[in-house]
Structure 1
Amino acid sequence: MVDEAFDPTVMVVLMMLLLPVTGAFMAVTPYLMRRGEVFTVTVPTAEQKDPFVRGLKRRYAAILLVCTAVLSVAGIACAVTGAFGAAFALMVVGMLALTAGGYALMLFYRAKMNAYKKERGWTADAQEAVAVVGEQPVPRAISLKWNLLYLPVMALTLLIGVVGYAHMPDMIPLHMNFDGTINRWEEKTPMIVWMPVLIQAFIAVSFAFAHWSIARSKKWAEPGAPATSALAYGLFARAQSIFLLAGGLVIDTAMIAMPLSFMDVITLGQAGVFVAVAAVILCVGGMGVSAVYGQAGSRVFKRMQTSDRLLVDDDRYWKFGVFYYNPDDASLFLPERFGVGWTLNFARPAIWAIVAGGALVTLAFIVAVTVMF
C-alpha cells in the first residue's frame, strides 16, 4: 500500500536542513566559547585578539564550512534526482562526519595552541577562585516543577488513543519507505494506544534529567569579572532551561500525530512530517539560543574587562579537551569546554551510577517497545 498523500520531498528537505545547520554550528563553536579558552586551552582573556589565535579560529571555521557546503550540495543533488534514501543516508552520515571531524580538527588545533601557550609563557602564578555575593540574586534555571507540563500532553495523547481506538483499522501502519510505501503493519491491540505515550514519557524523562543537571551544575564565574560573568552564566542557564522545556514540549506535542494517524485522521507520512518539523525546530532553536548567549553566557557581555594575566589554569583536568576528570571537585556537572552546554565530572563515582542508570532506562525503553510491538 502506498500513502498517496505523502510527499517525500517535504520530509527530505526538512531533514536535510539539519546538515547545514549542524555544520555551521560546529564552524562557529570556537567563537562561542568563554573568553579564557581557545580550542580547550586556557589563555589570558586579553589574548582572544592575538593574530595566531584568530588565525586558528578562521581556518577551523573555513574548513568546516567548506565540508558542510560540499555535503549539503551532494544531499540536495540526491533529493532533486529522487534518490531520497541516499539523501537521508547522506544527511545522517554527514552530520556524524561533521561532528567527529570537527572534534578531530579541534584536537589538531588544540595541540597547536598548547605549543603556542608554552612559547608565550602563559602560566597561572596562582589559582584564583571567586565567589559572588550580592543583594541581587543571580538568575538561575527555571524550577523543575515546570516539567509537570509534560503530564497533560501525555494525558491528552492517551485520551485521543482511548476514544479513537474503536475507529482504528484492524491492521495499523507503523513504518513506510521514502516513496510512501508502507512496509510494516501491526495488529490493533490495546497496547497500540500506549505506544506514543511511552515514547512521550521517555522524551519527558530525558529532557527533565537534562533540566535537573543544569540546575545542579557548577556555576561559572570568571576571576577577572566575577559578578558580571556570574550574571551572564545565570542568564545563559535560565535561557537554556526554558528552551529545553519548550523544545521537549514541542516534541511531545508532535507525538500526538501518532494516534491520529492510527485512526486515519491523518496519514502516517503526514504524522512523520509533524515530528520532523518538531525536530528541526528543536535543533535550529537550540543552536540559535546558543549563538545568542554563547557558552556559559560568554556573548552576553562582550565588553567585560579583559586581562593579560592567566588567573586560573585547569587544563590538566580536561582529558582530550572535553572529558573533565577532577577528583578534588565535588561538582557532578559543569559547563563544557568545547561546545555549548554541560558535561560530567567523570572523577565522581555518582556520575558513573548516573550513566549506568541512564543506559538501563534507555535499554528498558527499547525492550518495552520491542515486547509491546
Structure 2
Amino acid sequence: MEALIFIMMMLLTVMLEAAIPFLIRKTIVFGVSIPSTQIKHPQISVYKKRYSLLIVVPALLLLLAYCIWQATNSPQANQVAIVGTFLLFGTLFWSFSLYFYFHGKMLELKGENKWEEQLKVVSVTELGIRQKDEMLPWYVFLIPMIITVGFLLFTATQYDVLPTEIPVHWGADGKADRFTTKTPISSVSLLLVLLTMQFMFLGINIATKRSGIKIIANNKQASKRRQLKYRKYSSWLNLLISITITVLFILLQLTTLYNNIFSDYMIVIIPLLLTVVLLICTIVFTFKVERLNRELDGKEQETQEISTFDADNHWKGGLFYFNKNDPSIFVEKRFGIGWTINFANPIGYLLLFIPLLLILLLSFI
C-alpha cells in the first residue's frame, strides 16, 4: 500500500511538472516575459519539449528502479516510505534545477533577439472592477474553523477519559506510531495546529481578494475575464483544501478520543480518498486555468504592449516577486499554477511564517 501511494504521488508530480510550460500563458516562458508576436518562436518550443523530456525520462527510470528494488528486496514499510520520499523530493529538486537552467536560456534568447526593445510598458486600471470579483467572501472560511472549535471544546470535556498517551504521529498504515504524555495542550494540539492552518487559509483568501486585479494592456476584456475567473477558482480551491484538511485532522482526533471507532481498513482508505479528492480538485483547477490561458492567448492582439506588473525586473529568477510600488500581498505565479507573495510587502511574511512558527511551537511543546 505504501509503495502504491508513493508511485501515484510520483506519477502525478511528474505529469504536472512536465506539463507546466504548456499550461501557463504563452507570453510567459520559464518566468520570462516575451512579446505576443514571438510566442511561436521555434526555439521556445524546443526549450519546452526538452524541459518536459528531461523530467519525464529520468523520473520513469527511477520509478522502474524503485519497483525492481521492492520486488527483489522485500523492504520494510518504513524503508519504502523513506526511499519513496527521497525520490519524490529528488524529482522536485531536479525540476527546480531544470527550471533555472531554461530560465537562463530564455533570458539569453530574449537578449540576443532584443525583444525587450519591442515591449512597451503600459499600466491599465478599471474603476469598479472589484464589484465584479466573484471570490468567496471571508466568512465562508469560518465554517471549518467553527467545526474545529466545536471539536476542541468537546475534547476538553472528555479530558479525564482520554488515554494517558496521546498520539502525535501516524504511519502510512494509518496507525499511530509515536506518542506523548497527556497534558491539556497535547490533548488538543492536533486541533490547535488545524485551527492555525485554517487561520492561514482565511488570511490568504482575504489578502488575495485585496490584491490588485491585473489587466493586460493589449487585451483588456479577455484578461479581465481571465483574472476574475482565476481568482474565483483559486478561492474555491483554497476552501476545498481547508475542508479536506479539516476532515483528515478531525478523523485523527476521533481516533484519539475513541480508539476503535474506525476499522483498520477505514483508517487507511479515508485519508487515501481525501487525498484523491484533493488531487482531482487540483487537476480540475489546473485545466480550468489552462483553458482560460488558451482563450486569452487565442484572442491576444498583435501589439507590443505589456502591463507594468509583468516587468521582468520585479521578478527574481522568474519566481520571486519584489515590487515596493505594488500594494498587492499575493500575485499570480509566473511559473506554475497559483499565487506567490510579494516579497517586498511584509504582510505576506506575517500571513505565511507566523502560522508556521506557531505550528512548530505546538509540535515542540
Q: TM-score, normalised to structure 1's length?
A: 0.83
2:61, 2:315 → 1: CA distance? 33
Q: Which residue of 2 aligns with 1:243?
A: 237
Q: Which residue of 1 aligns with 2:58?
A: 67
2:110, 2:363 → 1: CA distance? 52
Q: Which residue of 2 aligns with 1:194?
A: 188
Identity of aligned residues (%): 21
| Aligned 1:165-204 pairs, distance under 5 A | 168-175=162-169, 183-204=177-198
- Structure 2 counterpart of 1:106, from 99, 105, 130: 99
1:88, 1:300 → 2: CA distance? 42
SS in 1 for 2:151: helix
2:262, 2:158 → 1: CA distance? 13
What is the deviation of 1:63?
Answer: 1.1
- Structure 2 counterpart of 1:126, from 113, 120, 124: 120
| 210-219 vs 32-41, which moves further | 210-219
1:179, 1:150 → 2: CA distance? 26
CA distance 1:303–1:72, shift in 2 (3 Å): same
- Structure 1 counterpart of 2:323, from 323, 326, 330: 326
Return the letter of the residue paired with 2:293. Answer: S
Instruction: Please tell me whether the aligned partners of residues 132 and 227 of structure 1 are also in contact (alpha carbons under 8 angstroms).
Output: no
CA distance 1:32–1:166, shift in 2 (3 Å): same
Q: Which residue of 2 aligns with 1:231?
A: 225
1:27, 1:282 → 2: CA distance? 20
| 170-179 vs 355-364, which moves further | 170-179
Q: Which residue of 2 aligns with 1:346?
A: 343
| 226-235 vs 135-144, which moves further | 135-144
1:269, 1:370 → 2: CA distance? 31
What is the deviation of 1:201?
Answer: 0.4
Q: Which residue of 2 aligns with 1:305?
A: 300
| 84-93 vs 198-207, which moves further | 84-93
Q: TM-score, normalised to structure 2's length?
A: 0.84
1:290 aligns with 2:286: yes
Q: Which residue of 1 aligns with 2:108?
A: 115
Instruction: Please tell me whether the aligned partners of residues 135 and 231 of structure 2 are also in contact (alpha carbons under 8 angstroms).
Output: yes
| 250-259 vs 360-369, which moves further | 360-369
What is the deviation of 1:212?
Answer: 2.3
Instruction: Please tell me whether the aligned partners of residues 248 and 271 of structure 2 are also in contact (alpha carbons under 8 angstroms).
Output: yes
SS in 1 for 2:120: coil
1:35 aligns with 2:26: yes
State the Cα RMSD in Å: 3.1
SS in 1 for 2:179: strand
1:152, 1:332 → 2: CA distance? 26
Return the letter of the residue paired with 1:126. Answer: K
CA distance 1:154–1:285, shift in 2 (3 Å): same
Instruction: Please tell me whether the aligned partners of residues 130 and 221 of structure 1 are also in contact (alpha carbons under 8 angstroms).
Output: yes
What is the deviation of 1:23?
Answer: 1.6
| 331-340 vs 307-316, which moves further | 307-316
Segments of 5+ residues of structure 2 without an aligned counterpart are none
Segments of 5+ residues of structure 1 without an aligned counterpart are 1-8
SS in 2 for 1:303: helix
Return the letter of the residue paired with 2:29. Answer: V
2:288, 2:303 → 1: CA distance? 26
Q: Deviations over 1:24-63 (max 9, x none)?
A: 1111111122232111111112322222111111111111
1:363 aligns with 2:353: no
What is the deviation of 1:216?
Answer: 2.4
Return the letter of the residue paired with 2:285. Answer: V
SS in 1 for 2:201: helix
CA distance 1:357–1:214, shift in 2 (3 Å): closer
1:110, 1:66 → 2: CA distance? 20
| 130-139 vs 216-225, which moves further | 130-139
SS in 2 for 1:185: strand
What is the deviation of 1:77?
Answer: 4.2
2:90, 2:270 → 1: CA distance? 27
What is the deviation of 1:133?
Answer: 5.3
Q: Which residue of 2 aligns with 1:281?
A: 277
What is the deviation of 1:100?
Answer: 2.4
- In the alignment of these two chains, the number of paired residues is 358
Q: Which residue of 2 aligns with 1:3?
A: none
SS in 1 for 2:298: coil
CA distance 1:294–1:111, shift in 2 (3 Å): same
1:358, 1:187 → 2: CA distance? 30
